[in-house]
Structure 1
Amino acid sequence: MTDFFVLPGTRVPLGDSGGLGTSPIPGRTAPYSNPELDDGGVVQVVDAEWARRAGVARELAAELQGAQIRLDMAALKNHYGSGVREGDEFYQKAKAFVSSYSATVREYIEALQSLATRCDNAENALSSTDSNSARDLQI
């Protein structure tokens, strides 16, 4: 799916390619010109957005890693009565829960790191395609 970015504060309605209609056509993904806004139907893709998205994903992954470390520390010691059957049983259940939850957090961290890499790749691909297209136009 293609994302269309426009300058903040502007609206680019979706509709027929001739600009004759004013209501969106279901399934249409390309904006058309809006004379009221004098935008000419220009779609602006902001290269820096991909870098920003990658940075946000890395930042969230780092925050989750910090939380995961603290979470793992919670299961290191039996705080519920070592040597007492009920305390030991509760500790084993709590430890199993923390271990399971920690594995889930680890999956989210990996997903965020993967997202950051994909955003970097998208930025690089967009920049490369843009440069290649510009070079082709200059020849």
Structure 2
Amino acid sequence: MSAYPLVADLAGDSVLVVGGGAVAARRISRLLEAGARVVLVSPVAVSDLVRLAQDGRIAWIRRRYVEGDEHGFGYVFALTDDPEVNDRIAGRRGSAPTNVATRTSRRRISVPAVRQMDGVTLAVSCQPPDPRRSRMIADLCLSTLSGRLSGA
């Protein structure tokens, strides 16, 4: 797959996240930092997400995904632990660009490993998507550049 890298301004955009586990918690944290308005659909959620919902920082719909939930959102993150559900979400006709946590050919967007320091954002993505390798390379680059960035 050939990928086109981009950085998206999500400030004020509505983003749907399906699945309430640790991967969803990491993605939602970054989405909130980017100013996105997050709606979580999941019957259960890890404690970090429960707190975000209690604090009013995300909207939480406490149920399983229902076909059509993705309509009206600018981006969708299918982050359940069920590859069939994730694939079904990603395959919906006319749905928004979708990131899928499980391996599938239907993934339309991938989330790179991101590191930030001194006003610099470093994003690393491997093809095919390999989150572990991307994180390792991002950490290596940042550690190599850390002294140089502060003196630039």
Q: Aligning the two structures, in what range does the TM-score lie when normalised by the shorter sequence?
A: under 0.3
Name whichever structure is richer in strand by fraction. 2
Which TM-score applies when normalising by structure 1? Answer: 0.21
Q: How high is the TM-score relative to the length of structure 2?
A: 0.19
Q: Return the structure number with greater helix share.
A: 1
Q: Which structure ranks higher in relative contact order (CA pairs < 8 Å, sequence separation ≥ 6)?
A: 1
Which has the greater radius of gyration?
A: 1
